């Protein structure tokens, strides 16, 4: 390199031509790959932005619709089934289906949301927590108390609401000691004064039961 800078202009040109002759294909290939990389990156970014915009518009239309099953929600589920907005649609549709007495459809939708995130990290997922809360409430309304315990037995992170539902299921199954423990945990984790008051009432009701 020192020889290059100390050489005359003609010698420098000869050195550059020599390098070009030896490495021209590698240099051309490098720049071709660089252009392909930039074009591909820009295309992916633009496609992702367009996808995000379209899904957000469809979800907004879904929320603003008064129909039981808006076409915008159906389009989200069919065209973008893996999107986060599709999970929000499933959560909301599950609520609508349950209110219409379509319990099985509601359960299937909630299970789909939960299963879609079953392979994700162990970090707390509020979407999964919401789906499990609604699912457990349905189970309790159907008196399927053991299903509540089965569903929550695989959960590492439980919200105060889920812990309280666990206590409800244990109480109905006659597991009063476990129910008390669950209610106490829910009491410690609940941010709502109203919820804490309700949980305290449930704990008081257990006092009349035989706790082993």
Q: What is the pLDDT of residues 171-180, one digit of tens each?
A: 999 999 999 9
Which tokens in the block code for residue 30? 């490098």
Grade residue 208 by pLDDT with cuts at 50, 70 and 90: low
**Long-range contacts, stretch 120-128, CB < 8 angstroms, 24+ apart:** 122/156, 122/157, 123/157, 124/157, 127/84, 127/87, 127/88, 127/91
Of 52, 65, 126, whose CA–CA distance to 93 is shortest?
65
Summary mean pLDDT of the chain? 80
Of 86, 136, 138, 137, whose CA–CA distance to 112 is shortest?
86
pLDDT over 80 (residue 30): no
For residues 132 and 107, the answer to whether their CB atoms sit within 8 Å is no
pLDDT tens for residues 145-168?
Answer: 999 999 998 776 789 999 999 999
Grade residue 65 by pLDDT with cuts at 50, 70 and 90: low
pTM above 0.85, yes or no: no
């Amino acid at each position: 390199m020192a020889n290059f800078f100390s050489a005359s202009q003609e010698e420098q040109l000869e050195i550059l031509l020599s390098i070009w002759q030896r490495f021209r294909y590698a240099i051309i290939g490098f720049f071709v790959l660089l252009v392909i990389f930039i074009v591909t990156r820009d295309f992916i970014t633009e496609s992702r932005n367009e996808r995000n915009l379209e899904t957000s518009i469809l979800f907004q239309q879904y929320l603003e619709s008064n129909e039981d099953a808006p076409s915008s929600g159906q389009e989200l589920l069919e065209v973008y089934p893996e999107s986060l907005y599709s999970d929000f649609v499933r959560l909301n549709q599950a609520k609508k289906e349950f209110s219409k007495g379509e319990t099985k459809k509601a359960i299937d939708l909630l299970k789909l949301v939960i299963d879609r995130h079953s392979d994700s990290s162990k970090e707390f997922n509020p979407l999964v927590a919401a789906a499990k809360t609604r699912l457990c409430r349905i189970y309790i309304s159907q008196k399927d108390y053991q299903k509540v315990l089965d569903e929550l037995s695989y959960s590492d992170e439980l919200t105060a609401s889920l812990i309280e539902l666990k206590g409800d299921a244990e109480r109905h199954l006659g597991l009063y000691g476990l129910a008390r423990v669950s209610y106490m945990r829910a009491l410690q984790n609940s941010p709502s004064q109203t919820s804490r008051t309700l949980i305290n009432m449930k704990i008081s009701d257990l006092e009349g039961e035989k706790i082993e």
